[in-house]
């Protein structure tokens, strides 16, 4: 089990789980140690079976829709009281995972991003039409999850339009539409994702954060090369 999924601060009452990378379908799909697949979560939940409270920490740009839905459903049916903390970003399918919480906490400077599912496809015109139909069905499933968490008086058509437009919401903005508690602003946890390049409206601070992380990584690699030469 990856270190970031190992049981932390577990007692008979509580355990913590972290989603701090991309959501992938299986072990084979992992590019980073922090990437998570459904099997990781299944094993984790089995290990903490019977715990009363589950703290779920999210800082993810998204990933595989089907993997994310599987994780959401596993968390949702778990009998523990679930509190979700969005530490930096719950983007794309990670926003669905966040909705598994009985309580969802987002600081005013953290983000929730919702958008239409997308896919890469090859084939003839019939294949592509079917893919479009499949994406519509997937979107309907995602909207069903959002609908269970919207505030009274919020029109679901408004949420659909926000999904259509790729909408980024900070904690305060998200609380206008969803049943979310807004926490005090904290230092934003760095988040990077292979999926950021596909998002049209990535906030400037996240883009700058990603560029800085890449720059830091390049600097580390250069230093390692220099040390090897020495």
Regions of the chain where pLDDT drops below 50: 212-214, 216, 218-230
Q: Which domains does the chain have, with CATH numbers?
A: 3-195 (3.90.226.10)
Contact 104, 98 (CB under 8 A): yes
**Per-residue pLDDT, 31:** 85
DSSP 5: G
Predicted TM-score of the model (pTM): 0.80
Rounded to whole angstroms, the Cα distance separating 185 from 1 reads 32
**Per-residue pLDDT, 5:** 55
**Per-residue pLDDT, 122:** 86
**Per-residue pLDDT, 67:** 96
pLDDT tens-digit series, residues 143-166: 999 999 999 999 999 999 999 999
Q: CA of 127: how far to CAs of 133, 134, 139, 140, 181, in Å?
A: 10, 10, 18, 20, 43
**Per-residue pLDDT, 129:** 92
Beta bridge partners of 58: 19, 86
Burial class (CB in 10 A: 0-12, 13-18, 19+), 63: buried
**Per-residue pLDDT, 32:** 86
Rounded to whole angstroms, the Cα distance separating 150 from 24 reads 27
Report helix, strand or coil for 87. Answer: strand
**Per-residue pLDDT, 230:** 44
**Per-residue pLDDT, 132:** 93
């Amino acid at each position: 089990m990856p270190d970031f999924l190992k049981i932390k601060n577990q007692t008979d009452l509580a355990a913590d789980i972290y989603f701090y990378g991309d959501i992938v379908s299986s072990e084979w799909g992992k590019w980073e140690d922090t990437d998570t697949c459904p099997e990781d979560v299944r094993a984790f939940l089995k290990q903490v079976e019977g715990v009363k409270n589950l703290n779920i920490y999210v800082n993810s740009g998204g990933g595989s829709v089907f993997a994310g839905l599987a994780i959401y459903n596993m968390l949702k049916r778990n009998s523990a009281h679930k509190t979700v903390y969005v530490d930096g970003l719950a983007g794309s399918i990670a926003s669905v995972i966040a909705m598994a919480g009985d309580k969802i906490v987002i600081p005013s400077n953290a983000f929730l991003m919702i958008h239409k599912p997308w896919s890469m496809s090859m084939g003839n015109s019939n294949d592509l039409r079917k893919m479009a139909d499949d994406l519509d069905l997937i979107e309907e499933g995602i909207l069903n999850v959002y609908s269970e968490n919207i505030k009274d008086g919020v029109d679901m058509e408004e949420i659909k339009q926000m999904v259509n437009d790729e909408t980024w919401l900070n904690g305060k903005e998200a609380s206008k539409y969803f049943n979310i508690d807004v926490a005090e602003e904290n230092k934003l946890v760095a988040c990077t994702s292979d999926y950021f390049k596909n998002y049209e409206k990535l906030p400037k601070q996240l883009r700058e954060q990603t560029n800085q992380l890449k720059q830091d990584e390049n600097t580390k690699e250069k230093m390692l090369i220099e040390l090897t030469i020495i």
